[in-house]
Structure 1
Amino acid sequence: MRRYHQPAEVEVDEDSQPVRFTAWGRTYAVAEEVGSYWEELLPWWTTENLGKELEKLTVRHFLVRANGPQRSAVVELVQRAGTWFVEGVED
């Protein structure tokens, strides 16, 4: 999997699952969830994270198959403090 940290605009369904995202100026449709959704917690004990709310320290990971204008790929989408990123792409 190639690693990125590309900002993305993500559209989610009523269950907060990604259904479409835009990155690199292109829009991709989420065809299916490939792996289980998981969460991690940023280290709350570090100086930069002290006093932050739990929601701001929670990182959500979604592994999905996305169909784009030219091809499909497995994409890791990450939501961190309300901001979305494409973290990895495997095609």
Structure 2
Amino acid sequence: MRRYHQPAEVELDGQGFPARFRAWGRTYVVVEEAEPYWEEMLPWWEGENAGKSVEELRVRHFHVRAHGRQRSAVVELVQRGGMWFVEGVED
């Protein structure tokens, strides 16, 4: 998997899972979950995280199969503190 940290705009479905996203100026449609979704917490004891809320410390990971206009791929979408990123792409 190629690693990135590309900001993304993500639209969620009715259950709170990614349905489509926009990154690199292109729109991709999520067609299926490639792996189960999981969460982790950033280390609250580290200086940069001191005083942050639980939601700000939560990191949500989604591995999804997405179709774009020219290609399809398994994509790792990550939500951190309300912001979304494409963290990895596997063709």
> TM-score if structure 1 supplies the norm length?
0.99
**Structure 2 counterparts to residues 1-91 of structure 1, below 5 A:** 1-91=1-91
Q: CA deviation at 1:24?
A: 0.1
Structure-1 separation of matches of 2:56 and 2:87: 18
Q: CA deviation at 1:42?
A: 0.3
Q: CA deviation at 1:14?
A: 1.3
Structure-2 separation of matches of 1:5 and 1:34: 20
Identity of aligned residues (%): 73
Q: CA deviation at 1:51?
A: 1.1
> TM-score if structure 2 supplies the norm length?
0.99
Cα-to-partner distance string for 1:21-49 (whole Å, 9 max, x where unaligned) = 00000000001000000001001001110
**Is the partner of 2:36 in helix, strand or coil?**
coil
Unmatched runs of 5 consecutive residues or more in structure 1: none
**Is the partner of 1:48 in helix, strand or coil?**
helix
Unmatched runs of 5 consecutive residues or more in structure 2: none
Paired residues in the alignment total 91
Letter of the 2:31 counterpart: A
Higher normalized strand content (fraction of residues): 2
Structure-1 separation of matches of 2:34 and 2:90: 12
